[in-house]
Amino acid sequence: MINGSLTALVTPFKNGTIDEKAFCDFVEWQIDSGIHGLVPCGTTGESATLTDAEHQRVIELCVETAAGRVPVIAGAGSNETTVSIKYAKHAKSLGADAALVVTPYYNKPSQEGIYQHFKAISEAVDIPIVVYNIPGRSVVDITNDTMGRLASLPTVIGCKDATGDVTRVTGLEDRCGADFIQLSGDDPSSLGYAAQGGHGCISVGSNVAPAQYAALHNAMMAKDFVKALDIHKTLDRLHKDLFLDPSPAPAKYALSLLGKMDPHVRLPMTPCREETKTAVKAAMTRAGVSY
């Protein structure tokens, strides 16, 4: 089952291209640190700036390096349905375990349009789909009722909810069933999400502190919420300070301190401000991340 802490992987760049060695080493470090799953080519992976060839290559490298040890949920979202189908087909052909498909952004589709988008992908590609609901970036929200309709599609297995609203968990369980995989897309709310019955989180913070986030989610999956709260408190600043500047610049800066990759981000993302760097360093120290 897809659950626990799943890292929304950053994509390392060097000299304008993907740093393949850094990426493979990074994936290996994540797995060695106990992370529960990997999500390449999502928002944190700067998917909007990747060419089709780069998008496919990142997923290929992730699947090959993971080698079945943890699930790989490949980013396959687009605001054009045919492109999302193409990405989902690529993900399946490369051996990904599932596809993460975001609500179409910019177009502002109706709830019916959202349903038809996912229905078309489900009918075109036989790969498990995790629906990614992030109104802050896509402008439109998937209502609980629409998510219930999506859950009836044979390949839709769960959702990534980046609304930050932990009260949705029960409503979605009512409509989608207890087996519908509910993942938080927001580190600060992941504890509350789990307490309400959620199954894990697609995490940004686990890029920087995979062992700590794995421990947090291990505690939550064991229903030890006292222990989970203690760990959550040490990670609270990291949850938040990695977003003081547009993500993933702060996460890449932190990873550069750890010697994992160059901090470069592609425009329109820009490097961290100095005050953000200071805050990120303090958050890493609080989380027990040595650099």
Catalytic residue set: 132, 160
Q: Given the structure tokens 């303090």, which residue do they identify?
A: 282
Q: How far apart are CA 256 and CA 271, in angstroms?
A: 12
Task: Please name the residue that has the structure tokens 């550069």.
Answer: 256
Beta bridge mates, 129: 99, 156
DSSP H helices in the chain: 20-32, 52-66, 81-94, 111-124, 135-138, 144-151, 168-176, 190-195, 210-221, 225-241, 249-257, 274-287
Fill in the amino acid letter for 33. Answer: S
Tell me the C-alpha distance between 210 and 7, whole Å: 8
- The encoded tokens of residue 137 equal 């970036």
d(CA 186, CA 205): 10
Give the length of the chain: 291
Contacts of 288 (CB under 8 A, 6+ apart): 209, 212, 234
Spatial CB neighbours of 130, under 8 Å, sequence gap ≥ 6:
2, 73, 98, 99, 100, 101, 157, 158, 159, 160, 181, 183
Does residue 40 have a cis peptide bond before it, meaning omega lies within 30 degrees of 0? no
Give strand pairing partners of 156.
129
